[in-house]
Amino acid sequence: MTDARKLRSSGGWWTVYGGPLLIGVLSIAGLLTALLSEGAGRYFSWIAVGAPVALTGWFFARRKRR
């Protein structure tokens, strides 16, 4: 096996699915907080629901154009 292939395959399950899983849990927590909470919980829900949109915009802005 080549060195480049070893580096790519050594990540494991958490490296591949960790980010999307974390964003999904944050989104669900934000939606539940928006439904069940008042006051300061509303601010958390706006941040949690807006985080995937902000992250998507950030990654699209950083990507290289060919």
Helix 13-36 crosses helix 40-62 at what angle (to 10 degrees)? 140
In this structure, what token pair is assigned to residue 54? 């902000």
| CB-based burial label for 65 (10 Å; 0-12, 13-18, 19+) | exposed
For 38-64, write each residue's pLDDT tens digit.
888 999 999 999 999 999 999 899 887
Residue 3, pLDDT > 70, answer no
For 7-45, write each residue's pLDDT tens digit.
555 678 888 899 899 999 999 999 999 999 988 899 999
pTM of the predicted structure, to 2 decimals: 0.70
**Longest distance between any two alpha carbons in the chain, whole Å:** 56
Question: To which residue do tokens 């960790």 refer?
Answer: 18
> For residue 43, what pLDDT is reported?
92
Sequence-distant (≥ 6) Cβ neighbours of residue 31 within 8 angstroms: 45, 48, 49
